[in-house]
Amino acid sequence: MAVIDGEMYMVLSRNGTVVFEKTFLRYELSDEKHPYQISMDRQITATGTYSIATNLTTWTTPYAHNNQSRVVLSTDFPAGQVGEVLNVSYPTTTTITSSGDYSSGSAIVGETFTSSVTLSKLFPRDSNNQKLTMTGGRFQIRNIVCNYKDTGFFRCEVTPEFRTSDVYTFNGRVVGSGSSKVGVAAISELGGFRVPIKSDGKTVGIRIFNNSEKPMNITSIDYVGFFNEITRQG
């Protein structure tokens, strides 16, 4: 691989086939057809062919999609459809179909992937010295707030020690927000998503991940809890 003018070029093998691909290290809309930052690998824009007899629109990919590709409607379509992710079927290794007529414009086709981050252990800081971590006690985390920017989807998986995981989902919809409109792709510009933790900061596992085509941009994490210091009598 090599980086040239902010783009990473790669020669790699996919299922035994050698391919040449590139990715943007700093995201920018590649053209005016993208309604938002679409997080998919092997993206292409393709115009479907509609069959009246079957009421199906068919898109053809230049590679074997392995039954993993999704179809997102671009800005070529009416406002109520822009950004919609279609329900699709895979009749062959290089064709994708969906019920209805979507041949009036080009769609964005690609494969979703999972991006994730596992938080390091959270500890309180000394009030007099913010750089000093306090480890001589129990820090019970009450909740965290995932601060985000231009985000449409992510999940937070909380795994207390010796217990099953709980998953909390942010879907881009914010109640009362003027930007959360019916028929418009849910991308929240700025905010915070509160997640209950209720576990010991030393042992709980916290993972944030996104396996959708929507963007995820986590800017910071705030956390609140109770610290009980261990004391020892001489």
Query: CATH no. for residue 46?
Result: 2.40.30
- pLDDT range class, residue 31, cuts 50, 70, 90: low
Question: For 98-112, 120-134, 147-161, which range has the lowest pLDDT when averaged over its residues?
Answer: 120-134
Domain count of the fold of the chain: 2
Asked if residue 55 lies in contact with residue 100, where contact means CB atoms within 8 angstroms, the answer is yes
The tens digit of pLDDT for each residue in 107-133 reads 999 998 899 999 998 888 777 666 677
**Is the pLDDT assigned to residue 32 strictly greater than 90?**
no
234 part of a folded domain: no
Q: List, edge to edge, every strand of the sheet that includes 205-210.
A: 115-118, 205-210, 154-159, 166-170
Question: pTM value?
Answer: 0.77
Torsions phi, psi for 96 (to 5 deg):
-130, 135
The tens digit of pLDDT for each residue in 187-231 reads 888 899 999 999 988 889 999 999 999 989 999 999 988 888 776
Indicate if 137 and 215 belong to the same structural domain.
yes
Q: Domain of 72?
A: 31-111
196 part of a folded domain: yes
